[in-house]
Amino acid sequence: MYKFLKRNNRQIFRFLVSGLIASSFNFISYRALYLIFKNILFASIFGYCVGILVSFVFAKCWIFKNSSSQPLLKSFFLFCLIYFLGGLEMSLVIVFLNRLIENYKIAWVFGAFIGSLNNYLGSKYFSFKK
């Protein structure tokens, strides 16, 4: 584990930074569309899609530096699938831990960690594999 972290520390750092940026784009889009249309479902779905697109661009151009030999559409499809599974895992961990320890904040931290781990490893070894 230590060797993996040491070998990939720059990539992991970039993944975390790009995640914060993508989340900001997600939130800004969500907030703007909610204020304009007053439809929370539309705003949240659109904001999430904006966040996914920003994450994909960062992953392709900055984190994994376009190292994939896969076609762009295949990489994007795999990326979306991985992030969907990560979101599902995060939600399940949050629900399970919150029922177990009755602390939604701690449950969210663990859920976010599991989802992020899924997204990083899935992107590294499936979406952008060499």
- The model scores a pTM over 0.85: yes
Cα first-last separation, the chain? 21
Domain count, the chain: 2
My answer on whether 59 and 108 are in the same domain is no
Segment 63-94, tens digit of pLDDT:
998 666 788 999 999 999 999 999 999 999 99
Structure confidence at residue 123 (pLDDT): 95
Residue 10, both tokens: 């720059």
Structure confidence at residue 107 (pLDDT): 92
- Among 66, 90, 119, the domain boundary falls at 66
Cα separation, 93 vs 34, whole angstroms: 28
My answer on whether 77 and 95 are in the same domain is yes
- Among 66, 91, 114, the domain boundary falls at 66
My answer on whether 79 and 52 are in the same domain is no
Beta carbons of 86 and 116 less than 8 angstroms apart: yes
Q: Which domain holds residue 86?
A: 68-130
Segment 10-49, tens digit of pLDDT:
999 999 999 999 999 999 999 999 999 999 989 999 999 9
User: How many secondary structure helices (H) and strands (E) does the chain include?
Assistant: 5, 0
My answer on whether 75 and 127 are in the same domain is yes
Cα separation, 37 vs 34, whole angstroms: 5
My answer on whether 100 and 114 are in the same domain is yes
